[in-house]
Amino acid sequence: MYIRYLKIISNISLVFGVFGFLLSFIGTLSNVELLYLWIILSSFALYRFSSKKVFSIILAILPFFPLLLMKSPLDRAFIGITGLYSLYLLLRTIKKLTYGSAVEEFEKVIPIVIVITIISIGISLAFPDKSILYNTLVLPYFVVYLVSAVILLRTLRYIEYSSSENKDINKVNLAYSIGIIFISFLLSLPVVRAVLWKGISLGFTYILSGFLMGLAWIVFAVFFIFDKIIALLGRFFKAERRELPEIKTDELTKRILNMARMGGSEKLPEKEAVSSSNTNQILIIVFSIIIVLIVVYIIITLFRRYESRRKPREEDYIETKEFITIKKEEGSGILKRIIDRLRPKDPIEKIRLYYKKYLLMCKEKEIGLKESDTTLDIYAKSRDFFNKNVLPRMREIYIKVRYGFENPSSETVREFLSLYKRLNSRD
């Protein structure tokens, strides 16, 4: 399932951002970007060949290979932490990937990301020489985490709630997603931003120079035409000819272009150079803050949309009577209610009873259900333990009854009971 590659990128990026921030207070980390790419690629390889036990054991050593190249104890500690987490992610967490669990994890992580970002920005503003803490150890990895987490949530939402048959993310979509994440990572690096800023500045300078040069030629043409018109009128009225002073194109162009020069011709004094350096640092920090705010705003907006769409579908896996519309009979005694619960006559109650028995069977088989699981999550977790041909139809009937879309007939109840009896069959 290609969606799990996004999960690997998302979680490893988060770990790099958090532990890069914490360990930076102890010392300086080196080659973090290369280590990040190495851990990602080795995790991809390990997940790809996880079905082959012998080969996967050999690949499990890959995340720790940089230990042989790093001499600093801090770098080795960082490699050990990220390597162990990548193994834990592949062995435990990644196998339980559902939309509900991904939303829960995202809600818990976002406050941590915001707090670390605020602290990093504060340190960068208070101590400009520490701006590397934010620009290289926090921002790139948090940007990748936020982008990949949003793509992951959106894709999981599509996979779990789409009615189309091909619900798995294909290679093309995965390539687009990883491409977006890679571009986000590059744009968050200070070196790349500096190169882009320089390119934009040069481009703006050339565009402005070209514009002013064109303007100079237009002004020259206007003065030239105006001079000819005056001369023509002078001849017509036989008056004394007065000519405008001759305009030299080269001189006019040079004067206009001099106004477009953006420094660089002379060396700035020492004080001005220091001021310029501080200004550049402030601009970089402001630019970084703007990027983070934009990304957080986009994520919050998308997350609210997910929540608004998700609310009607939310349900606890331990079903209660209140979730199903039931017409209660007045004056029913305790004995009658007990009998109705054991052998209910109401069609809705019958379907609810057998669905509850199905949930109890899930518990007996030790299927890891959570309170946040919906009927779709339950189906996804239990389909390998029961008849796959039966579960979709059972869920479809139960959903219609549960939300009051259908008042079940006796035939529907018989069909549901028949499906329940075939749960453990393999036909």
Q: How far, CA to CA in Å, does 406 sit from each of 143, 359, 397, 413, 414? A: 46, 22, 9, 12, 15
Rounded Cα distance, 187 and 176, in Å: 17
Query: Do 161 and 221 belong to one domain?
Result: no
Q: Is 314 a residue whose pLDDT tops 50?
A: no
* pLDDT score at 50: 74
Number of domains in the chain: 3
**Averaged pLDDT, 81-98:** 82
Confidence of residue 423 (pLDDT cuts 50, 70, 90): confident
Query: Do 234 and 256 belong to one domain?
Result: yes
What sign results for the dihedral spanned by CA atoms 400, 402, 404, 407?
positive
Q: What percent of the chain has pLDDT over 70?
A: 66
Rounded Cα distance, 128 and 98, in Å: 42
Q: Would 288 be classed as within a structural domain?
A: no
* pLDDT score at 3: 78
| Sequence-ordered list of residues with C-beta below 8 angstroms from that of 307, at least 6 positions apart, any chain | none
CA angle, residues 141, 145, 150, in degrees to nearest 5: 155
First and final C-alpha spacing in the chain: 26
What sign results for the dihedral spanned by CA atoms 348, 349, 354, 356?
positive
Query: Do 347 and 241 belong to one domain?
Result: no
E strand residue ranges, 260-372: none
3-state secondary structure 234-300: HHHCCCCCCCCCCCCHHHHHHHHHHHHCCCCCCCCCHHHHHHHHHHHHHHHHHHHHHHHHHHHHHHH
Is pLDDT larger for residue 61 or for residue 323?
A: 61
Residue-wise pLDDT for 13-46, tens only, equals 999 989 988 888 888 888 888 888 889 888 888 8
**What SS3 state is found at 419?**
helix
Query: Do 118 and 179 belong to one domain?
Result: yes
Mean pLDDT, the chain, integer: 73
Query: Do 15 and 155 belong to one domain?
Result: yes
CA angle, residues 188, 193, 194, in degrees to nearest 5: 145
Query: Do 164 and 207 belong to one domain?
Result: no
Rounded Cα distance, 275 and 71, in Å: 38
Q: Are 79 and 70 in contact (CB under 8 A)?
A: yes
Only one residue has tokens 């402030």, namely 282
Q: Would 103 be classed as within a structural domain?
A: yes
Confidence of residue 123 (pLDDT cuts 50, 70, 90): confident
DSSP states of 211-237: HHHHHHHHHHHHHHHHHHHHHHHHHHT
Rounded Cα distance, 33 and 78, in Å: 13
Q: Is 268 a residue whose pLDDT tops 50?
A: no
Only one residue has tokens 């590659």, namely 5
| Sequence-ordered list of residues with C-beta below 8 angstroms from that of 289, at least 6 positions apart, any chain | 121
DSSP states of 80-91: HHHHHHHHHHHH
Query: Do 134 and 21 belong to one domain?
Result: yes
- Please choose, from the candidates 361, 360, 348, the residue with its C-alpha nearest in 3D space to the C-alpha of residue 413: 348
Rounded Cα distance, 357 and 352, in Å: 9
Q: Is 166 a residue whose pLDDT tops 60?
A: no
Query: Do 244 and 165 belong to one domain?
Result: no
For 397-421, b where at least 16 C-beta lie within 10 A, e where not — what string?
bbbebbeeeeebeeebbebbeebbe
Q: Are 133 and 22 in contact (CB under 8 A)?
A: no
Q: How far, CA to CA in Å, does 214 sit from each of 87, 292, 296, 302? A: 62, 40, 43, 46
Q: Rg of the chain's alpha carbons, rounded to an integer?
A: 34
Q: Would 310 be classed as within a structural domain?
A: no
* Range(s) of the domain holding residue 230: 199-266
Query: Do 44 and 109 belong to one domain?
Result: yes
**Averaged pLDDT, 223-233:** 75
Task: Single out the residue in 252, 277, 305 at which a domain terminates.
Answer: 305
Q: Would 126 be classed as within a structural domain?
A: yes
Is pLDDT larger for residue 212 or for residue 162?
A: 212
Query: Do 105 and 141 belong to one domain?
Result: yes
Query: Do 340 and 257 belong to one domain?
Result: no
Q: Would 284 be classed as within a structural domain?
A: no
Confidence of residue 216 (pLDDT cuts 50, 70, 90): confident
Q: Would 152 be classed as within a structural domain?
A: yes
Query: Do 168 and 227 belong to one domain?
Result: no
Q: Would 426 be classed as within a structural domain?
A: no
**Averaged pLDDT, 48-66:** 78
Q: Would 352 be classed as within a structural domain?
A: yes
Q: Are 365 and 383 in contact (CB under 8 A)?
A: no
Only one residue has tokens 């990937």, namely 97
For 324-357, b where at least 16 C-beta lie within 10 A, e where not — what string?
beeeeeeeeeeeeeeeeeeebebbbbbbbbbbee
Q: Is 13 exposed, middle or buried (0-12, 13-18, 19+ CB in 10 A)?
A: buried
